[in-house]
Structure 1
Amino acid sequence: MFDLETIVDEEMPDGSFPPWPRHKPVAGSFLTARREGQDHDFTLHTFICREGGEEHFLRKVDALFPSGSMAVTLNGRGFDAQVLRLQAQRHGLYELRNIARIADAGRYDIAHLDLLDAYGGRGSSLAELCKAFSIPVKTSVSGADVGDLWRQGDVRAVAQYVQEDVLASYLVYLHAIAWRQGDERLMALPIADLSVWIESEPKLRHLLPFATCRPAMRARTRAPALRVEGALADAELRLKREQDEAAFAAR
């Protein structure tokens, strides 16, 4: 799951959102989730992109998306991934094939899932989706503040804001994938593990609201029973497989 914060050299006279090719990344946050059995572990990378450091930033981003991984964004197909691609092209970094794979992915390509597609396209937004799910988002800073914060040198505020957007987007993603698969475990188990991880990391203290929001509290309540159900289902599947193998060998 990733999100970028960007600035432009010149704002639009009417205050509207500038066309995406004018945007330059100043920060990016990348939450990597891995699953082993019913357990999940997480890594959060946040990179700052200062003037003159664009190549280093883009190479670090590209390395986070090896072949076979899936990128998840909210509006990334139309913005974040395109900003990365254009910046890579501007700096002559045509060898960054992971960024290319994400930016070139179509709507039904598993290389990149854009949550706007999962929730009906342009009529939705991260703020509105999070409000519906009681997920904390944009509590003190919004995207409109990033330019001023960056020019004031408040890099910490920009970094924390992009991290919050990534966590919020991830919780929305888990709702979407659990609904698509009809399996509550796909939402509850990773959210429960994510909550414990946030609470165990002092450097993530500013993200604690994500460990205590309504979806997190429900997930933590439901997770023990769901783990037992999952373990029983796995045991039954293994037993059935062993019985089938034994029956085949006896022929």
Structure 2
Amino acid sequence: MRWQKQPVHYPYEHVVCYDLETITDQEMQDGSFPPWPRHRPVAGSFLTAEWSPVGYRFKLDTLLCREGREAEFYRKVDSLLPPGGMGVSLNGRNFDNAVLRLQAQRNGLFDLRNIARQAESSRFDVAHLDLLDVFGARPGTSLAELCRALSIPVKTSVTGGDVADLWRSGNVAAVKAYVQEDVIATYILHLHAAAWREGHERQLVLPLADLAIWLEGEPGLRHLLSFATCRPARWARSRAPALRAAAALAEAELRLKREQDEAAFSAR
């Protein structure tokens, strides 16, 4: 009998999407992107999305890595990464996870098991999903290019090339807003990939509609409202009521069938 590879079942019910902003102390003379071991994080944003029977719940944590408090930063990162859920990133397998692992070691931290789980995951592992792998993109493909193709707003005021100057000038608020934009855009990109992989729009429609409502209700995230009104979000919100109604009807029919079966069994 020929062996067949079993399909991967991704834990969509608990996802942490994350992104780092980094700087280097030594730039390349030719202006090219420095090798990843030269990079150290200055900020990271982590969007936790958890499914519950009443819908998706979200939490956005954004961390700054201050000089002299690096160990605190890496321990907090470790606490935010899911021990049983799935981490999602764009190029995290080759950059973010590698940087986190190396810099944690540099700071004498060897017990960060959640960072280790992300960093040691393989391609298409359920511990960590790299969207470059999912979209079949080559290293160097940018978040901006992928998002632009899907009408997801990204890089609205700042680009990655601005981060070092902003950080060194003390404009940490701009760095923080930028990494938050990137992580929300990455999550919406992930939802598109999930819907395509599973062959059903609900994997995009329901969490994105809930995300848009959540963003509108968070006063501290007003700068992210473009994600609640972008074309994919508007489409998701128009489709969500019908999908929820269909799901409720299916659940009611299943419950009625179960009750009928139980009644028939009791009557024997």
With the length of structure 1 as denominator, give the TM-score of the two structures: 0.95
> Can you list the C-alpha shifts for 1:19-42, whole angstroms capped at 9, x where unaligned?
000000000000000111250110
Question: Cα–Cα, structure 1 residues 250 and 25, in superposed 2: closer, same or farther, change >3 Å?
Answer: farther
Q: Could you list the runs of 5+ residues in structure 2 that have no partner in the other structure?
A: 1-16
* Counterpart in the other structure of 1:2: 18
1:122-133 correspondence runs (5 A): 122=138, 124-133=141-150
Does structure 1 conserve the Cα–Cα contact (< 8 Å) formed by 2:90 and 2:186? yes
How big is the shift at 1:5? 0.1
Q: Does 1:69 align with 2:85?
A: yes
> What SS does the corresponding residue of 1:29 show, helix, strand or coil?
strand
* Counterpart in the other structure of 2:218: 201
Question: Cα–Cα, structure 1 residues 235 and 146, in superposed 2: closer, same or farther, change >3 Å?
Answer: same
Shifted more, 192-201 versus 228-237: the winner is 228-237
Q: Does 1:236 align with 2:244?
A: no
> Can you list the C-alpha shifts for 1:74-107, whole angstroms capped at 9, x where unaligned?
0000000111100111111111000000000001
Distance in 1 between residues matched to 2:27 and 2:135, nearest whole Å: 30
> What SS does the corresponding residue of 1:187 show, helix, strand or coil?
helix
* Counterpart in the other structure of 2:239: 222
* Counterpart in the other structure of 1:178: 195
With the length of structure 2 as denominator, give the TM-score of the two structures: 0.89
Which amino acid is 2:60 matched to? Answer: L
Shifted more, 31-40 versus 142-151: the winner is 31-40
Which amino acid is 1:47 matched to? Answer: L
Which amino acid is 1:2 matched to? Answer: Y
Distance in 2 between residues matched to 1:219 and 1:108, nearest whole Å: 26
> What SS does the corresponding residue of 1:122 show, helix, strand or coil?
coil
Alignment RMSD, CA only?
Answer: 1.6
Identical counterparts, % of pairs: 68
Distance in 2 between residues matched to 1:228 and 1:43, nearest whole Å: 26
Q: Does 1:41 align with 2:57?
A: yes
- Structure with more helix by fraction: 1
Question: Cα–Cα, structure 1 residues 18 and 247, in superposed 2: closer, same or farther, change >3 Å?
Answer: farther
Distance in 1 between residues matched to 2:190 and 2:78, nearest whole Å: 22
